[in-house]
Amino acid sequence: MEYLLNNKSREEIINGTILIVDKPYSWSSFDVVKKIRNTIMLNYKIKKIKVGHAGTLDPLATGLLIICYGKMTKSIDNFSAMKKVYDGKMIIGSTTPSFDLETKPNINYPVNHIDEKLLLKTSKKFIGEILQKPPMYSAIKKNGVRLYKLAREGKKIKREKRKVIIEKFEITSIKFPEVSFSVTCSKGTYIRSLVDDYGKELLSGAHLTWLRRTNIGDFSVNNSVKVMEFIRKI
């Protein structure tokens, strides 16, 4: 399947295909969808076309985002259900309200008891089916309002834990307090929550500092296109 729109006819665009995008840092997934939709409508003189993405990435994350448009938007749920692979970095010994760098560290924890053996042993505890509570800073809706909007107002809402599957949680590099890792997981997994839970299991704290999605099913970020590159080439 072609991941660029080069040489595609107007009819082919409307019938639908996908675009494999490398989402830039600080862009929301909706920002990417909006930019691509507007570009397609302008260049192909289409007044209206459905465009959506399969699997949200936080603004502070980069990497693979599958964009579906035209009739291919009917397959979004199929793409979203595929397993995901992430590379990330975390800081051990402190937490933030958002579990990442959207907010500043607000609590420090002891770390003198933590060594490489404990870091490796603890990551293995998360392999398999686990219960995970979504972060307050998330796009989940409560009574029609996104949780992150409530969180920014200082409000806390009860969130039910969800079942997710962690196929792999590998510590790849330790430059304490920074720890790098790779995760293979199911749909619906919040890597920020995984990092926060990992910190608690260490009897300390942790927050996410960098995240990049590299794979969704058989799709790889190595075969993706930058958003601005797509706009120049279309």
Residues annotated as catalytic (active site), given as ranges: 58
Helix axes 191-201, 116-124, angle to 10 degrees: 120
CB count, 10 Å around CB of 47?
Answer: 5
Question: Of 68, 59, 64, whose CA–CA distance to 84 is shortest?
Answer: 64
- Candidates 194, 213, 219, 181; CA nearest to 29 is 213
Are residues 126 and 216 in contact, defined by beta-carbon separation less than 8 angstroms?
A: no
Contacts 24+ apart (CB under 8 A), 161-164: 161/131, 161/132, 161/133, 162/131, 162/132, 162/133, 162/134, 162/188, 163/129, 163/130, 163/131, 163/132, 164/129, 164/130, 164/132, 164/188, 164/189
The distance between the two most distant Cα atoms of the chain, rounded to a whole number of Å, is 63
For residue 167, what are its two tokens? 């196929």
DSSP 80: H
Cα separation of the two ends of the chain: 17
